[in-house]
Amino acid sequence: MTPEDVLEEFRSAGALLQGHFILSSGLRSPTFLQKMTIFSDPARTERLCRALAEVITRQFGRIDIVVSPAIGGIIPGYETARHLGAKAIFVERDPGGPFTLRRGFSIPAGARAVIVEDIVTTGLSARECLASLKDEAGEVVGAACLIDRSGGRGEIGLPLVSLVTLDIPTYSPDALPPELAALPAVKPGSRAISAP
């Protein structure tokens, strides 16, 4: 799958949105990749995650466990694990708290794990996912995502592979270009949404 094929999956699914978005990091952007529109279509998800599994195998070799940050990472993590012949586990947050590995999940000694994210913007979620795994016995050998929108500047603390690298502009909320400031801001992601 070429980078253009990947973008066409997002475009044709209606998952490449334009407007004024508040990202998980608090940064603002005129562009949002609505991965859940992709993941609501199993055939599309399979095509993308099969391609990601191939990239992961090429870069990192044998993988036993895929670990993903909830919520966005769970579906691509599972589907990528299916193509890798690996297990799929995830880390999750108590509201507002750090990621933790729960539900009896672990990375046992000798296991080779990879973090699978959906989208990387700053790399913060993947970094926090890695931090939550520091006491696991097995080795986290790398990270992967469908789209790296950081222009390759997202810092994970691990080698990161993706299907596409894009350099999509982001802005601090106090330094918005006027055309962005003129639009109402929406926050599509789950981070820091407080419990009802």
CB nearer Mg ion, residue 111 or residue 144: 144
Question: Which SS3 state, helix, strand or coil, does residue 17 take?
Answer: strand
Closest CA to 86 of 74, 78, 94, 75: 78
Q: Is 148 in the site for ligand PRP (CB under 6 A)?
A: no
Instruction: Pick the closer one to ligand PRP by CB: 63 or 189.
Output: 189
Exactly one of 28, 45, 72, 75 binds Mg ion (CB under 5 A); which one? 72
Which range in 21-29, 60-68, 80-88, 172-180 contacts ligand ORO by CB under 6 A? 21-29
Q: What is the DSSP letter of 92?
A: E
Q: Which stretch binds ligand PRP (CB under 6 A): 9-17, 67-75, 101-109, 131-139?
A: 67-75
Strands (E), 23-170: 28-33, 65-69, 87-93, 99-101, 112-120, 139-148, 160-165
Neighbouring CB atoms inside 10 A of 57's CB total 15
Task: Say how far apart CA 196 and CA 182 lie, in whole Å.
Answer: 30
Residue type, 155: E
Asked if residue 6 belongs to a known ligand binding site, the reply is no
Binding segment toward ligand ORO, per CB under 6 A, in 19-27, 86-94, 126-134, 156-164: 19-27
**Binding to ligand ORO (CB under 6 A): which residues in 105-134?**
119, 121
Known binding residues: 117-125, 149
